[in-house]
Amino acid sequence: MGCGMGKSENQMKKSIRAALLIQRWYRQYVARLEMRRRCTWNIFQSIEYAGEQDQIKLYNFFGYLMDHFTPARNLISHIFRTNECCRDTEWESYFCYKSIQVPDSYPGPHLTFPMTFSGVSKLVEAFKHKQQLHARYVLQLLGETCRLLRILPNINCVSICHNKDITICGDLHGHLEDLLLIFYKNGLPSSEKPYVFNGDFVDRGKSSLEILLILFGFLMVYPNDVHINRGNHEDHIVNLRYGFTKEVLGKYRVHGKKILKLLQKIFSGLPLATVIDHKVLIVHGGISDMTDLNMISRVDRHKVKEAFSTVLRVFYNHYIKKILLAGFDQSYGEPKKSDSESDPESCETADEQEWKQVSDEKGSGSQLLFLETFNFKIVDMLWSDPMPQSGCIPNEVRGGGCYWGPDVTEKVLGRHNLHLLIRSHECKQEGYEFCHNLQVLTIFSASNYYEVGSNRGAYIRMGSDLVPHFSQYQASRTSRELTLRQSVSWTERSALQALRKQLFVHKSVLISAFQEFDPHNTGIISLSHWANATERVLNLALPWRVLRPQLVSSTHFGMVDYKQWIRELSIPEPKSEVRLAHILETMYKNHSNLETIFRIIDTDHSGLISFEEFRQTWKLLSSHLKTEISDESIADLAKSIDFNKDGSIDINEFMEAFRLVDLTAHT
């Protein structure tokens, strides 16, 4: 009670108060960072899903083409034809690697078959050092994989020995550094270290092929301990759009086409799901209320061609149903009337003849209907997402599969006596996330998926008690992990850039939307109206009010000068006349679909399409989009780019010429 005690007690109190203040102050800062991070995340997700919605537009376009039966339809009809070389002997000779010589100067790894553990680990090392495997070995490895897949079942059944753990990985999307990180932390696959890889190995990242080669290598060495599930990106049509096709053709200029064709076969031969100890179901996307594992395990998945492309789903919906229900009722060169029936044309295309044959053979098309239902079930397994509400509704965001609720989880798990559903397909900030009362677990293994610092990757380890344990990581190019602050800023900048691009491509629609709020044409509207219009035009569910300060810097008293704002968004366009401005804008808006279409048209993967094909595609696209694009403006477009003198267009050059300039050049 004396003065001495009082003084140190006082000091203590002061320290505590100081600590309290610092803690409060610092936590506030961290919370604000978290808010920014969450907003950034929303941006990326919205744009990603909007991109997938774009895919629906693409499929609608194909449907439109099918309906119109114009000669240009032949441009894409080949994707609906069955594989040309389907007989084994033909196939063997087409994919034969034996004639391909490996030169002495080749610095990369040499493989011997049958594959051994040391062979695969050599491969892993080589890829770690950025070497490229020679095409001969690629084809050989893939050929062996194809053979192996023929004998694997649709659903892998695994049992865990009581002293071993099984490791389960989610989406990798070409991120080799993440796979290497997992192997580093967890060990390479072996009979002591079983693994399940749950799909989406390719697209978006730069090393999709290397990942496939490694996984297939391990699969061949340990077929009972390494299990691979198909993902929705193991689909050649999706690959045309999301980068895998480009990657392979870029890395293997001579043999790329063969490799892609072989991969097409392999993808459709991949197993669809894995079940552990009859209790844990692992599938890439998820389930629907129609999921029946017994039915799925019975069908011969290899016979189902092109089953997983939702393009085909559109095709089936349009075309097959007509065959089954009403016979041929289209005629060339004229738009089809939906309820009309006309006599079948005497000159049918090869496609029509084939389908007629199939339906005749299989009798009343019931076989086709069966295949169709099977297709839908598979699409559900690879494309669906869980939702918090009960029920099962079509997944319109992705254009395939469904959204399923906790009641469906209960039902399907109950039906098959399962305890847990492990799936992937959706990026999660922490690399994993539970939902549906801990009955559904999402695992995602591609870290920094949207941008450096955007999210962690994770993998699961599970023992015979079937309790999942998680390991998280984040691959980074620098030796140090980014701090929270750095990763948020970096991701945010990237997200805002992506968002500004979106705003830019919609600028004329935005201006009209703004003008609706500005009847006296003052050029100024309120922030509220700005947010309203932007949300409507972009159709991205984003917290616009929160984002507003980052996107609109010049405001006075809560008002925006929208014309100036649009100008600020603009980037210098290539020298073009007013006539071209419109086609350019359409081009920007649809550029990823356009690229996909071009690549489909380029059947021999040469990277070139003829000017005539180019022109036809543009005309079709414009009529489908109900915009006017005249022959003159297409000709102008051709002139403004240096086309090859032989009248063909290099797709890559064309896309490069219109690539949006990096907007950070301005900031």
Partner 1 sequence: MAENKQSAEVVVSDVHKKIRAAFEVFDYELNNTVDAREISTIICSLGCFPSQADIHDFIAEVEEDQTGYVHLDKFLPAMTKVLLENKFPPIPEDRVLQAFEVLDKDNKGYLEAEELTKYLTQEGEVFNQKEMDEMLFAFSDPEKNVIHYKDLICQLTFDTGQ
**Nearer residue to partner 1 within complex by CB, 42 or 610:** 42
Sheet with 555-556: list strands edge to edge.
524-526, 559-561, 555-556
Q: Least distance (Å) from partner 1 to the CB of residue 632?
A: 47
The C-alpha atoms of residue 222 and residue 195 are separated, in whole angstroms, by 10
**Residue 74 beta carbon to partner 1: minimum distance, rounded to whole angstroms:** 45
In the block, tokens 């490895």 appear at: 141
Contact 213, 115 (CB under 8 A): no
Closest CA to 179 of 123, 263, 111: 123
CB closer to partner 1 out of 18 and 102: 18
Structure tokens at 656: 């490069």
Full strand arrangement of the beta sheet holding 440-443: 155-158, 273-276, 280-283, 420-423, 440-443, 432-435
Please say which residue, 30 or 157, places its beta carbon nearer to partner 1.
30
Residue with tokens 């002495």: 104
Alpha helices in 316-464 (DSSP H): 321-326, 350-362, 366-383, 406-415
Nearest to partner 1 of 497, 526 (CB atom): 526
Q: How far apart are CA 42 and CA 429, in angstroms?
A: 11
* Positions that interact with partner 1 (CB under 8 A): 14-35, 38-39, 42, 388-389, 483-485, 528, 541, 543, 545-546, 549
Q: How far is the CB of 488 from partner 1 (least distance, A)?
A: 10
| C-alpha angle 663-658-205 in degrees, rounded to nearest 5 | 70
Query: In angstroms, what is the minimal distance from the CB of 25 to partner 1?
Result: 5
Strand-pairing partners, residue 263, are none
User: Is the link from the previous residue into 114 a cis peptide, with omega within 30 of 0?
Assistant: yes
Residues with catalytic function: 233
Using CA atoms, how far apart are residues 530 and 31, in angstroms rounded to an integer? 27
**Residue among 386, 397, 392, 382 nearest 46 (CA):** 397
Quote the tokens at residue 207. 């090393």
* Nearest distance from C-beta of residue 554 to partner 1, angstroms: 14
Count of CB atoms situated within 10 Å of the CB of 659: 9
| C-alpha–C-alpha distance, residues 507 and 152, integer Å | 52
Provide the minimum distance between the beta carbon of 600 and partner 1 in the complex, in angstroms, as a whole number: 36
Nearest CB to partner 1, comparing residues 22 and 350? 22
User: Closest separation between CB of residue 495 and partner 1, Å?
Assistant: 14
15 versus 603: smaller Cβ distance to partner 1:
15
482: alpha, beta or left, given left = phi > 0 and alpha = psi -120 to 50? beta
Residue 460: its H or E element: strand 457-462
Read off the tokens for 584. Answer: 């350019």
Q: How far is CA 426 from the centre of its chain?
A: 10
Q: CB nearer to partner 1: give 547 or 609.
A: 547
Nearest to 298 by CA among 352, 378, 200: 378
At which residue do the structure tokens 């279409």 appear? 597
Q: Of 397 and 546, which has the nearer Cβ to partner 1?
A: 546
* Min dist. Cβ of residue 550 to partner 1 (A): 10
Q: Closest distance between partner 1 and the C-beta of residue 266, in Å? A: 37
Show the DSSP H helices in 334-387 as ranges: 350-362, 366-383
408 exposed, middle or buried (CB, 10 Å; 0-12, 13-18, 19+)?
buried
Pairwise CA distance, residues 421 & 279, whole Å: 9
Strand (E) or helix (H) holding 128: helix 117-128
CA-angle at 302, arms to 295 and 228, nearest 5°: 80
Closer to partner 1 by CB, 11 or 366: give it.
11
Distance from C-alpha of 200 to C-alpha of 221, rounded to nearest angstrom: 21
Between 10 and 118, CB nearer to partner 1: 10
